[in-house]
Structure 1
Amino acid sequence: MTLWHRTLSGERWATFSASKQVLMIGTELMRGQRWQELGDDEEARRSSERALELIDLTVADNRWRGKRVSLLRLRESLAEAYLNPREKPFRVLYERSLELASTGHDLDPG
């Protein structure tokens, strides 16, 4: 897998609000859906790789301590979709990413 966000360190990622992190993950998932709809499986795979990287950075962010299980479930589902691209639509993964932001917990304390 290619490293797509070479200049994005965990420290820099942690400066983004939690809601912005979720939005950026969701954006990659929607890009993947669009590429899949257009029949470009290679670009869809690249979107999956970028989303996986962002999820990994998010898991490492201590603000997500209480939601790591949810993040890791999303990551597992995305990894399955990466290996079997036509089995799990990006839309479902996108909706799961939004659930992280809507579970009733304050994503941006302070």
Structure 2
Amino acid sequence: MASKIETTAFDSADFLNSTEDVVAYLDAYLEDGSPEEIRAALDTVARSRGISDIAKATGMSRAGLYKALGESGNPSFETVRMILSALGLRFAVEQKMPEMEEA
């Protein structure tokens, strides 16, 4: 009789152990992710850092944060900004592709 293989669900939040990990993770989604993918990435990051801690730092309730970042959530720009700030991050704008200098 073959033995059962036990598996666990993969959760990216388990692997976001440093600020550098979080920045790289979010940057990858911000580069070409859909709004839904970006929302889900923010949810993953918030869970990796602790929903209660992020909620407290943003002044939101845990339920409000879960709602904003849940599958049917649509967080406002201000909510996203507050979450990033709670994570010690900020939005930045950079040029997509440097312009070629004229000779």
| Larger RCO, structure (CA 8 Å, separation 6 or more) | 1
Task: Please classify the TM superposition score into its range, dividing by the shorter chain length.
Answer: 0.3 to 0.5
- TM-score normalised according to structure 2 size: 0.42
Which one has a bigger Cα radius of gyration? Answer: 2
Higher normalized helix content (fraction of residues): 1
Q: TM-score, normalised by structure 1?
A: 0.40
